[in-house]
Amino acid sequence: MIKLILAEHTYPVRRAVLRKEFPDEPHQFNGDLDPHTFHLGYLEKNEIKGVVSIMKNGSVAQLRGMAVSEDCQGKGIGKMLIEKAEEILQKDKISKIWMNAREKVVPFYEKCGYKIEGEIFIIKPIGFHYLMAKYFD
């Protein structure tokens, strides 16, 4: 089941999946608590197994902190989270959603309809990323 959750409910999954090599790196993002930001969680037996945060800025939104627990990866949870986020954004008349995607997950986002915009770049200390985006009519 996917539902809206609080920012702090995303932190354990973010830390375990996105920051496991860097435990001292922050798991809270600038914008997490902004009133235009929303967070989605995938719950399995009342435990959050997947999260995504969407930060809206006018007609554009940024996807951040997408993470699915390692024991649940490959089950379509990430795709379901993105589809739910996009459904909400389209109702809100958002025209573009973008993210800085880690190099290793680019194929996943491409399958979800996102396209690379620009050259590869580094976000220290995490690694190589691409700016990816999807436009809505």
Q: Does any domain span residue 128?
A: no
Q: What is the DSSP letter of 34?
A: -
- Residue 25 confidence (pLDDT): 61
- What is the predicted pLDDT for the residue at 124? 85
Question: Residue 15's domain spans which residues?
Answer: 2-99
Question: What is the number of structural domains in the chain?
Answer: 1
28 domain residue, yes or no: yes
Residue with tokens 């996009």: 86
Which pTM value belongs to this model? 0.92
Q: What are phi and psi of 57, to 5 degrees?
A: -145, 90
pLDDT, averaged in runs of 10, over the chain (137 residues): 95 84 71 95 95 96 94 93 96 95 95 96 90 93
Q: Residue 59 is part of a domain; what is its CATH number?
A: 3.40.630.30
